[in-house]
Copies of this chain bind each other. A is one copy, B any other.
Amino acid sequence: MDDLSLSASMEDYLEAIFHIVLESQVARVKDIASRLKVHKSSVTAALRNLAEHKLINYAPYDVVTLTPQGARIAQDVVRRHEALRDFFVQVLTIDEPLADEVACRMEHAMPRTIVDRLILFSEFLEICPRAGKKWIRGFQHFCDDALAQQKCERCISMCLEDVKQKQAQGGAKMTLPLREMKPGQKGKILAVKTTGELGKRSA
């Protein structure tokens, strides 16, 4: 049933339509063109293509919406995009505009398995007391000057203190962020974060 392998270009169009529809209910050629920085004529061609694949509802001179199939694929692309962007921003501390732009170009080649893992990893970094925001600040230090941080023992002690404290006050052991569970292959549980926080998008 699934049309495996949509070209990177078509994925970009689908993604753009997804975001525009989210904002304005329907997408118009003009908006898609300006969002993707492409000529209107290119958009028309792409729309014909996507319509043939039954991924969008479209007739000449009409506005565009996604079919259920199209929405499914679009969300998948968006998920890849956001997984990458969020990793770049939150972990590698890359500035958003660059992270977003690069995510938009890299997203097309990512298989589900790796996206799932990347999302889980980002979550793990948030949740694990040995990692967390402070630890990432430690990474930034490391980037600024790889030789400066030597006080590992003290760093870990403080980390341990933090955990004891949290354990004492907050009754709950550990709070997982919102996630949707679904059976992954091989019986493993894989996180599926569909759509994260908003931000500038490049598609």
Contact = CB atoms under 8 A, between A and B. Distances in A.
A163 B150 CA distance: 11
A8 to B, nearest CB: 10
A157 to B, nearest CB: 6
A176 to B, nearest CB: 7
Nearest to A179: B146
Interface secondary structure of A, over-half rule: helix
Contact of A159 (B113, B118, B130): B130
Contact of A173 (B118, B150, B156, B157): B150
Given A150-B174, A159-B156, A143 B190 contact: yes
Copies per assembly: 2
B163 A160 contact: no
Contact of A124 (B130, B139, B150, B167): B139
Interface string A148-168: 001011011101100110010
Nearest to A91: B121
A129 B151 CA distance: 10
Interface string A116-146: 0110110010011111000100110011111
A94 interface: yes
A193 to B, nearest CB: 12
A199 interface: no
A114 B102 contact: yes
- Residue of A128, A144, A167, A174 contacting most chain B CB atoms (<10 Å): A128
Contacts of A124: 139, 142
Interface string A91-117: 111100011001001101111011001
Nearest to A152: B129
A58 interface: no
A188 interface: yes
A152 B166 CA distance: 11
